Structure 1
Amino acid sequence: MHNTALKTLAMDALEELKGRDIVSLDVANLTDVTDLMLVASGTSTRHVTALANNVIERAKENGIQPLGVEGRAGSEWVLVDLGDVVVHVMVPETRSLYDLERLWSDLPSDAEQDARGGGGV
């Protein structure tokens, strides 16, 4: 599935269950691990679990088996790895603490690292 379609699938799954403050981060130039990260908030640990489970269910309905899921039931942060798209669902306090949006926007790209003689992320 193309990245745009995968992103839309995941965003729709998050929006369907009222995920909050959904942000898409293009990290393709920052890491080889994934191209896009979606970050969303849930109102409680139960909501976070339900949002992540909905992403997983929608992916499977479309023939996509998640590569991994971390932090399931009752967690403040669940990560769903769909390959080219990684979905992070968190309660607001955890999201604020880790501030992934700022973290990934502050990282130099692989090209900038190579120009300085450093390795990639």
Structure 2
Amino acid sequence: MRSVVLDALDNLKAKDVQEIDVRGKSSVADLLVIASGTSSRHVKSLADEVVRKAKQAGQPPIGVEGQREAEWVLVDLGDVIVHVMLPRTREFYGLERLWTVGDAEYAAAV
């Protein structure tokens, strides 16, 4: 599912795509994928593309939240959770910082 998500985001030119391995930190998912869109319309289009590609791959989302406002759209694909956000929303919530506290390998990469 990881490659399906990354391909979908790449197809529509998502910005600053980050992957965070959350195995051992969360029982909800194994991987978080965080990406930015340039506008609310772009955020919604990116999330819609992820949903479309996941359905084509035979794994429809468990849930999708935030499509109406499209400042932050979450697509739950089970083991992979995708967050597509406007840059200001992404900066405000700081999911990368939240999920990588204490991760030496992530801190060195940033």
* 1:21-32 superposed matches below 5 A: 21-32=16-27
In 2, are the aligned partners of 1:76 and 1:94 still within 8 Å (CA)? yes
Q: Deviations over 1:39-81 (max 9, x none)?
A: 0000000000000000000000111110000001342000000
Structure 1 residue 107 displacement after superposition: 6.6
**Aligned with 1:106: secondary structure?**
coil
Change (3 A) 1:89 1:79: same
Q: Unmatched 5+ residue regions in structure 2?
A: 104-110
Give how far 1:29 is off.
Answer: 1.0
The equivalent of 1:14 in structure 2 is: 9
What amino acid is the match of 2:42?
H
Aligned letter for 2:96?
E
Larger Cα-atom Rg: 1
Q: How many residues align?
A: 103
Give the match's secondary structure for 2:100.
helix
Q: Distance in 1 between matches of 2:89 and 2:38?
A: 11
CA RMSD for the aligned pairs?
A: 1.2
State the match for 1:96 in structure 2: 91
TM-score, with normalisation over the residues of structure 1?
Answer: 0.82
Q: TM-score, normalised by structure 2?
A: 0.90
Contact between 1:48 and 1:75, CA under 8 Å: does it hold in 2? Answer: yes
- The SS at the match of 1:87 is strand
Partner residue in 2 for 1:119: none
Output the CA distance in 2 between the equivalents of 1:73 and 1:17.
19
